[in-house]
Chain A
Amino acid sequence: MSPLALILLACLVWLAIGLLGATFSRRFVFVTRVLFPAGALVAATVALTALLALLTQGDTPHTAMLPLGLPGLPFHLRLDALSAFFLCLLGAVAAGISLYAAGYFRRGQGSTPGLQCLLYHLFLASMGGVLLADDAYFFMVAWESMALSSYFLVTSDHRIAEIRRAGFLYLIVAHVGAIGILLSFGAMSGGTGDYTFDGIRTNAPEGWLASAAFLLALGGFGAKAGLLPLHVWLPEAHPAAPSPVSAMMSGVMLKTAIYGLLRVTFDLLPEQQWWWGALLLGLGLATALFGVVFSTVQSDMKRLLAYSSIENIGLIFAGIGLSLVFAANSMPLLAALALTAALYHCLNHAFFKSLLFLATGSVLHATGQRNLGRLGGLIHRMPWVAWLALLGVVASAGLPPLNGFVSEWLLLQSFLFTPQLPHGYLNMLLPVAAGAIALTAALAGFAMVKFFGVVFLGQPREEHLAKAHDAGRMERLGLIWLAAGCVLLGVLPNFVIAALDPVTNFLVGAGFAPAADKGSWLLLAPISEERASYSGAIFLGGLLAFTLALFFVVRAVFHGRLRRADAWDCGFPLLSGRTQDTAEGFGQPIRQVFAPFFRITREHPSPFDKEPHYRIVVDDPLWHWLYLPLAWLVDLGTRVVGKLQRGRIAIYLLYSFVTLLALLVFTTR
């Protein structure tokens, strides 16, 4: 059986599992303990098949045609290096999330688990479809079913007005994006009427039409990925969804948008302009900085993570932009380096962000709280979740020796090679861009310390937190799967880069497999060892060995005596959960340093209040500058159009008559 057929079969099995779940929706144990783990198994199969296809197939893609769809418009499928990589990502991450989801859903919360099961697996299958599609028609069908299934998953707690609103916003932005993608395909087919990707490749447009297609695709996929200024749905929809769904959306669904953009830019359009890359780079850096600054001031833990996803998407876009700049200046090796960094970051972000979202899910179950101001001290009650989340936090902050660091390292390396570019201005600006990336990474550290410190460390801020329970067995398995991914991707970068080699070869015509082979498997040296090298395995091994040795030496030479006592706290006697920093307090330096970024409204208590309240609201200024005026314009437009509606049949007949007349005049002229 060819890998393509196997993956297609896996997608169909997902659909079947979903339908089974919907049929037996009242059998709670069957749905959660059998169907979700089965879905995880299928996901692992997908990951393995795609990985094998990536490593063995070489340059020849597998293609197939399904006699489905409209008459004369069959579905075309194709498995090449690019889609195999993203399928591998989908499968590997979805396996962990499905395992977790098996233990997550509870009786009597939100929609029934059977419905969740159907939508969840439909979501998975449609993401698989997006990655397999080889014609615009099937792509759009899969894309839309992905958007709709995720919309229904987001609004599964539809009794809460806030969640309905978030879902609606998501739906609108998703469809505005879909229109952009549709128009982009239209521009690319150039009026030939051939919408298969092969057809688009052979008669792809050039000149301004190509640029128009690129810009439309950027808008469309950018809306799905959360690129500035189309990011507003992301911090609303991610917190609203159940945690496995947030993890899936943030970890995997955002990556399908990256896939789409790569497919259009590097594969379907024959020639890339350097300014496309510069545009992507600028947008990406702006998105990254914006996302990370906002993530540091959030008080809702899932919103914090959602903004951090915006930041990571920005970094990925910056990498792709840099790669485009290099590719357009025919520097394939450097383009491959930047692209490797971007793709590696896709994989890393998928793992650590899913891990963190799932950890918030466990916290939510144990405490019923998303608000950071009502959490704290959970490391004592939930050690498994806390320590696994700590791995995600270290990875997400881009710290060695975990995976987040490797891709940021590669990205910074590719920025440092820029002085070879023929553009003088770009040469000047790119090191500054590297500085922006460094600032983003450092701020990500701030946001992650805030997240972990406020949720898991310190004293409980509410009394009922003392009754919190740790994650169940299935939840733990899912978390361990993802955390293991974070560690392995961090210490074995050469394997990942070797697997990425066919992808970069396919997209920009150069790869790093020789470089990865040349050194030992331990050492990552993309260009040469003289130039730069890093080894996560030695790093981790050295750190662990030294720490352990130190521990035993200190014990042996001195003693291990330890007494418990009250905290010192400079002698202050009152030590309650209220004396710690709140989430707002921890974010205060950022609010002060980056004040122009925010739209802050404060309500100060009056000195005569018996129960003083201090309220501070940090808003997204783009919402006020861009979206509210836009909504006002749309509202105005509908009012004007609404005037046409009179409710009298004579007037409607008049409209028909006038239209008919106008058309007659128009056609007979």
Chain B
Amino acid sequence: MSLYAFATQLLTQLLELLIALALAPLLGGWVNVCRARLQKRCPPPLLLPYHNLLKLFRKDVLLAHNASSLFRVAPYLIFSCMALAAALVPTLSTELLFAPAADAIALVGLFALARVFIALAGMDVGTAFGSLGARREMLIGFLAEPALLMVFFTASIISGSTSLATIVGTLAHHEFAIYPSLAFAGVAFTMVSLAENGRVPVDNPTTHLELTMIHEAMILEYSGRHLALIEWAASLKLFAYSCLGIALFFPFGIAESTGPGALAVAGVFLVGKLAVGGFVLALIETLNAKMRVFRTPEFLGTAFLLAVLAILVHLLLEGGR
């Protein structure tokens, strides 16, 4: 690899990371605004998440007496996992420096690593709600993770690779070939991302009702900068999943070089697609009610079956093309 290519790939990689860090809270704010409009409420300010993060960073950390060092390390680690995940997804360009270091399976592993640490942190203080949340989070995790992997497998069997850059490159070029398998995979992916990001109908990010919360129950004991990092990481996760959905199912417009012009066009496309995606998420959350925790196995089981069906449809109808 020439030095020039190395430098531009590094710059693109850094640009993607910065865009993810900067835009992630905005996406959360946008979803909240859309949802409030759809529910005929007065919407909160679009930039409220930034304000909240800043406020939390400035506050002191209140740490429970028996919180261990793991509890204090976890927010930084979780944030790093999510930032790396958001940086790994080819959002602007497929020419990324760190793309060869982690493929789709490693990305799923990265999400799982963050989940394990947040669950452990939830159990650390030893409150009733912390372990309740950890248990439910792991329940959703072990149901969602195989479904997500099967979605990736569908895409990788189509493109003959598990490398995200190759998958996105292949799918972006076949504009006219419509894959019925991808339709199944898309539905499965949407269901998984709703569950993984703690959205309605699986979890409700706005609730603090003790018996129904999942994500919020685990992070009850966090405060100050730790809480800020965790909230930011959660919005990064939503951002990463949205970008994944865009990259897998609507990849047109992505830059396959590192030229500034192509990147600018890709950036405009990305913001537009994210805005539409955020609106769709708000619509889903408005039209559905939260389900009981023990209905989620059915929900995610359906997602898993749909993803398996996607693979079978590809092998049967598309002849393993």
Contacts and interface: CB of A to CB of B under 8 A. Distances in A.
Given A400-B113, A561-B61, A435 B149 contact: yes
Interface in A269-312: none
Contact of B315 (A376, A379, A399, A427): A427
A585 interface: yes
Given A435-B304, A442-B142, A567 B320 contact: no
Contact of B162 (A413, A535, A589): A413
Interface size class of B (residues with CB under 8 A): 35 or more
Contact of A525 (B100, B143, B304, B320): B100
B272 interface: no
A458 B112 contact: no
B210 A570 contact: yes
B68 interface: yes
Interface string A422-434: 0000011001101
Contact of A531 (B143, B162, B220, B304): B162
Given A397-B116, A431-B153, A457-B68, A546 B83 contact: yes
Interface in B270-314: 294, 297, 304, 307-308, 311-312
B127 A579 contact: yes
Interface stretch (B42-50, B128-136, B248-256, B260-268): B128-136
A538 B101 contact: yes
B101 A449 contact: no
B157 A416 contact: yes
Interface string B139-163: 1011101100110010011001111
Contacts of B103: 532-534
B64 interface: yes
Interface string B64-91: 1110111000001101110110000000
Contacts of B308: 431-432, 435
Contacts of A567: 64-66, 125-127, 221
Contacts of A572: 127-128
A138 B163 CA distance: 48
Interface of B: 57-58, 60-66, 68-70, 76-77, 79-81, 83-84, 98, 100-103, 105-106, 109-110, 112-113, 115-116, 119-120, 123-132, 134-136, 138-139, 141-143, 145-146, 149-150, 153, 156-157, 160-163, 166, 208, 210, 220-221, 223-225, 229, 294, 297, 304, 307-308, 311-312, 315-316, 320
Contact of B131 (A400, A412, A563, A585): A585
Top 8 closest pairs, chain A to chain B, by CB: A458-B126, A459-B126, A581-B131, A453-B123, A567-B64, A438-B146, A442-B142, A538-B101
Interface stretch (A63-71, A91-99, A196-204, A547-555): A547-555
A82 B193 CA distance: 44
A320 to B, nearest CB: 21
13 contacts: A379-B68, A416-B156, A438-B150, A523-B100, A532-B105, A535-B102, A539-B102, A561-B60, A567-B125, A568-B62, A570-B210, A572-B128, A590-B139
A285 to B, nearest CB: 13
Nearest to A292: B142
A62 interface: no
Contacts of B141: 442, 445-446
B106 A546 contact: no
Contact of B163 (A453, A533, A535, A588): A533
A600 to B, nearest CB: 16
A25 B163 CA distance: 59
Contacts of B138: 445-446, 449-450, 589
A653 interface: no
A188 interface: no
A377 interface: yes
B116 A439 contact: no
Contacts of B156: 416
A559 B112 CA distance: 30
Nearest to A587: B135
A90 B68 CA distance: 36
A566 B63 CA distance: 8
B297 A533 contact: no
Given A530-B161, A533-B103, A589-B139, A445 B112 contact: yes
B132 A558 contact: no
A166 interface: no
Contacts of A458: 123-126, 130-131
Nearest to A554: B225
A380 interface: yes
Given A453-B134, A523-B100, A399 B124 contact: no
Nearest to A534: B106
Contacts of B307: 435
B57 A419 contact: no
Contacts of B63: 562-565
Contacts of B81: 543
B49 to A, nearest CB: 17
A221 interface: no
A547 B61 contact: no
A459 B130 CA distance: 12
A448 B138 CA distance: 10
B112 A449 contact: no
A662 B84 CA distance: 81
Given A458-B131, A570-B210, A539 B161 contact: no
A588 B113 contact: no
A431 B224 CA distance: 45
B118 to A, nearest CB: 10
B237 to A, nearest CB: 15
Nearest to B136: A589
A431 B315 contact: yes
A565 B65 contact: yes
Given A428-B312, A589-B138, 13 more contacts: A383-B69, A398-B109, A405-B109, A409-B109, A434-B153, A450-B138, A459-B66, A547-B80, A550-B80, A554-B76, A562-B224, A568-B220, A581-B123
A563 to B, nearest CB: 6
B116 A412 contact: no
A593 interface: yes
B145 A442 contact: yes
A390 B202 CA distance: 29
Nearest to B320: A419
A399 B115 CA distance: 11
B66 A439 contact: no
Contact of B123 (A457, A525, A579): A457
A648 B165 CA distance: 85
Contact of B126 (A432, A457, A530): A457
A569 B221 CA distance: 7
A543 B76 contact: no
A377 B126 contact: yes
B22 to A, nearest CB: 15
A572 B143 CA distance: 31
A550 B229 CA distance: 10
A266 to B, nearest CB: 27
B304 A533 contact: no
* Residue with the greatest number of chain A CB neighbours at <10 A, chosen from B142, B304, B307: B142
A236 to B, nearest CB: 27
A9 interface: no
Interface in A495-546: 523, 525, 529-535, 538-539, 542-543, 546
B113 A399 contact: yes
Contacts of B120: 449, 452-453, 457
A580 interface: yes
B104 to A, nearest CB: 9
B281 to A, nearest CB: 24
Contacts of A443: 142
B136 A542 contact: no
A390 B221 CA distance: 22
A590 to B, nearest CB: 8
Contacts of A86: none
A85 B138 CA distance: 36
B3 to A, nearest CB: 16
B106 A400 contact: yes
A586 interface: yes
